[in-house]
């Protein structure tokens, strides 16, 4: 892991109000690598006269390990939905009540009663998206609207498919294709999933997170992918299209939380409220390439991004957040 630090000057303290422009001291943020817009940090520092330090981690698992060990010195952590659930359940977060902050009115209603933080007592949105399929329309011009592209592909796509190198993602995708519930523990359904994967395996060329590299190089023509990653891929390969499948898709969301032992809790709360302002959420999206989940943020972004298919799911597109599976189900996933 490459550790990145970004520090700029200090200032004045006042914790009288979440919306107050008079703050003081420091803010230490722990976020995924290459996921924070320097312009966002500079704007926050200038607006509140607070010195920000940004450290980075390679994965949610790395972040959880460090936070659970304690005494990190961090104030703010950014993590994925399931990781935030772990932190909430572990009693490691400060209840900051974002739902009572001035800018909470801008949060997309579908992101309020979420499984990892019902009603948003701890967390605010950072970035969100959908996981489905990217396809090269120069190489394949047939129907493209379902998971059959991965599990029962037409002849010309066989051996030209990349699946994400992620057991849970592959298992959940198989469940959706077969019409089973996520995290199924039914033995007959698990056997059907096992049989499906064995049939589909010869059609897959690779299992990798390197979606952009593989599609740009022409190694594969279809891949499991994310909305934002596909948008960035399309800037380099215009023939690529994001496929919203007729089957329900997996949604994900990264979130901003404050650690229970945050040394600068008041500044951390200011940061949470700051991020829920549309113009500031747009700075996150500008850098990271996904929707922010903040209503009105897209109007602050370039039209080609704001109007992109990846940022504007069709009205009939269905997606869901999936809580972590029980350990007995995970054990069966591992066996399969």
Q: What mean pLDDT is predicted for residues 33-44? A: 97
- Of 311, 291, 309, 150, which Cα lies nearest the Cα of 241? 309
> What digits encode the pLDDT tens for the residues 288-298?
999 999 999 99
Token pair 């659970």 is found at: 68
24 pLDDT band (50/70/90 cuts)?
Answer: low
- Give me the pLDDT at residue 98, please: 98
Tokens of 266: 């008041």
Q: Rounded mean pLDDT of the chain? A: 92
2.60.40.1840, 3.40.449.10, 3.40.190.10, 3.40.1190.20: CATH of 26-128+252-311: 3.40.190.10
- pLDDT at residue 6 tops 70: no
Residue 274 reports pLDDT greater than 50: yes
Q: Report pTM.
A: 0.86
In the chain, what are the domain boundaries?
A: 26-128+252-311, 130-250+314-335
CATH number of the domain located at residue range(s) 130-250+314-335 in this protein: 3.40.190.10
Q: How far is CA 40 from CA 14, 20, 242, 313, in A?
A: 21, 18, 28, 26
19 pLDDT above the threshold of 60: no
Number of other residues whose CB lies within 10 A of the CB of residue 175 = 22
Of residues 238 and 8, the one with the higher pLDDT is: 238
Q: How far apart are CA 55 and CA 30, in angstroms?
A: 5
Q: What percent of the chain has pLDDT over 90?
A: 93
Measuring CA to CA, which residue among 180, 62, 163, 111 is closest to residue 321? 111
Contact call for residues 322 and 172 (beta carbons, < 8 A): yes
Residue 178 has pLDDT above 80, yes or no: yes
Q: What is the average per-residue pLDDT within 1-19?
A: 33
Q: What is the Cα Rg of the chain in Å?
A: 21
């Amino acid at each position: 892991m490459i550790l990145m630090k970004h520090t700029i000057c200090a200032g004045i303290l006042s914790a009288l109000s979440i919306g107050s422009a008079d703050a003081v001291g420091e803010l230490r943020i722990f976020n995924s690598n290459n996921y924070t817009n320097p312009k966002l940090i500079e704007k926050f520092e200038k607006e509140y006269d607070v010195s920000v330090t940004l450290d980075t981690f390679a994965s949610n698992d790395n972040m959880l390990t460090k936070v659970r060990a304690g005494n990190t010195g961090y104030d703010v952590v950014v993590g994925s939905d399931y990781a935030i659930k772990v932190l909430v359940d572990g009693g490691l977060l400060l209840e900051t009540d974002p739902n009572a902050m001035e800018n909470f009115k801008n949060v997309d209603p579908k992101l309020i009663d979420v499984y990892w933080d019902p009603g948003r007592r701890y967390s605010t949105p950072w970035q969100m998206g959908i996981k489905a399929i990217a396809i090269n329309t120069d190489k394949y011009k047939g129907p493209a609207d379902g998971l059959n592209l991965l599990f029962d592909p037409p002849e010309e796509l066989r051996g030209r498919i990349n699946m994400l190198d992620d057991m849970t993602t592959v298992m959940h995708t198989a469940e959706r294709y077969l019409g089973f519930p996520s995290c199924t523990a039914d033995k007959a359904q698990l056997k059907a999933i096992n049989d499906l994967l064995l049939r589909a395996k010869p059609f897959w060329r690779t299992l990798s997170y390197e979606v952009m590299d593989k599609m740009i190089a022409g190694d594969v023509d279809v891949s499991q992918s994310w909305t934002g990653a596909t948008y960035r891929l399309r800037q380099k390969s215009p023939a690529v299209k994001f496929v919203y499948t007729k089957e329900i898709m997996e949604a994900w969301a990264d979130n901003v939380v404050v650690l229970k032992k945050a040394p600068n809790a008041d500044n951390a709360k200011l940061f949470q409220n700051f991020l829920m302002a549309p113009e500031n959420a747009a700075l996150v999206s500008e850098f990271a390439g996904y929707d922010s989940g903040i209503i009105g943020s897209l109007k602050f972004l370039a039209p080609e991004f704001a109007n992109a298919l990846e940022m504007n799911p069709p009205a009939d597109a269905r997606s869901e957040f999936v809580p972590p599976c029980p350990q007995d189900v995970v054990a069966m996933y591992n066996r399969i």
